[in-house]
């Protein structure tokens, strides 16, 4: 997952604004797991829309999407490394 500061940069590139209050809220270490819970996306998006507007709500959803892409990207790299190592071990890959 990107670090919180990276989310600020991505938001600036997307919208021209960092949306620090959105990303800091999501990544708050004391509540990090519950605030990345995708099943709460509708109620949390509504909360951000009421507080900061529709663009902030979209940045909240985009934060979750960026984290998912980051996590799966690492997972694919890790699995590929294991596959390569195993194939190499058995001499089926040079």
Q: Which residues bind Zn ion (CB under 5 A)?
A: 27, 67
Q: Closest distance between Zn ion and the C-beta of residue 7, in Å?
A: 7
Q: Closest distance between Zn ion and the C-beta of residue 6, in Å?
A: 10
C-alpha angle 15-18-23 in degrees, rounded to nearest 5:
115
Coil, strand or helix: which one is 29? coil
31 or 85: whose CB is closer to Zn ion? 31
27 or 59: whose CB is closer to Zn ion? 27
Q: Closest distance between Zn ion and the C-beta of residue 87, in Å?
A: 34
Q: Name residues whose C-beta falls within 8 Å of residue 7's C-beta, 6 or more positions apart in sequence.
A: 19, 23, 26, 27, 63, 66
Measured CA to CA, the distance from residue 74 to residue 71 in angstroms comes to: 5
71 or 93: whose CB is closer to Zn ion? 71
């Amino acid at each position: 997952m990107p670090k919180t500061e990276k989310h600020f940069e991505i938001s600036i590139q997307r919208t021209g604004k960092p949306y620090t209050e959105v990303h800091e809220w999501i990544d708050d270490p004391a509540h990090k797991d519950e605030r990345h819970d995708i099943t709460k996306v509708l109620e949390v998006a509504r909360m951000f829309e009421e507080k900061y507007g529709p663009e902030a709500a979209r940045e909240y959803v985009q934060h979750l999407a960026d984290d998912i892409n980051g996590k799966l990207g690492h997972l694919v790299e890790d699995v590929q490394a294991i596959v390569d190592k195993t194939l190499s071990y058995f001499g089926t890959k040079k």
